[in-house]
Amino acid sequence: MSQPPEPDQPPSPYEPPPSPYGQPQYGPPGETGQPPYGQYGEPYPGQPAYGQPSYEQPGQPPHGQQWGQQPPYTPQVPYGQYGPPSPPGGGGGGGGTNVLAILSLVFAFVFAPAGIVLGHLAKRQVRTSGEQGEQLANWGLILSYIFTGLYLLACCGWLALALWAGSDSQYT
């Protein structure tokens, strides 16, 4: 039988030191009175087993997490709707300047016949959609017709000059 060491004697090196947290519980789980946490294949209480659904909604925080929750997403706009509708009838411009009206004015200087076609298309779109650009389409049409007329006069003049130059060589 071993007797407790006397206070003046050091403890035996073969005995474990006393724990400041109380006596440790050794032995198989269940005998110690503590739940069997950490056993292989068993989940912690309140958690689903590996591979089992957790029944949490997507976008929601995990169970037990209350702080820092993400606000719900705004609903998605149905397909084909892009915001509030533009005011009907124009009234000073519905959605900016018509692109075809701008292109009509540009093509009046680059290739005037294309400017004529784009100007007429732009005027029709401006009437139906209520966009701005009526003045640009008008100027694109005016300049395109003027430059097309000048091109036709230049081509006819060049053709007349070529015929006239060719006809003089026969009589000399």
pLDDT tens profile 118-146: 999 999 999 999 899 999 999 999 999 99
Identity at 71, one-letter amino acid code: P
Q: What is the rounded CA–CA span in Å between residue 103 and residue 113?
A: 12
Whether this prediction's pTM lies above 0.75 is answered by no
Residues of the chain with pLDDT under 50: 65, 90-93
Residue ranges making up the domain that contains 152: 99-166
DSSP state of 30: T
Structural domain contains residue 127: yes
Asked whether residue 10 is assigned to any structural domain, the reply reads no
Assign residue 74 a region: left if phi > 0, alpha if psi is -120 to 50, beta otherwise? Answer: beta
Whether the Cβ atoms of residue 145 and residue 108 lie closer than 8 Å to each other: no
* Number of folded domains that form the chain: 1
Task: Name the helix (H) or strand (E) containing 144.
Answer: helix 134-171
* pLDDT score for 113: 95
- Does residue 13 lie in a domain region? no
Query: Which pLDDT does position 80 carry in this prediction?
Result: 72
- Could you tell me if residue 111 is inside a domain? yes
User: What burial class does residue 148 get, using C-beta atoms within 10 Å of its C-beta: 0-12 exposed, 13-18 middle, 19+ buried?
Assistant: middle
**C-beta of residue 63 within 8 angstroms of C-beta of residue 56:** yes
pLDDT of residue 8: 73
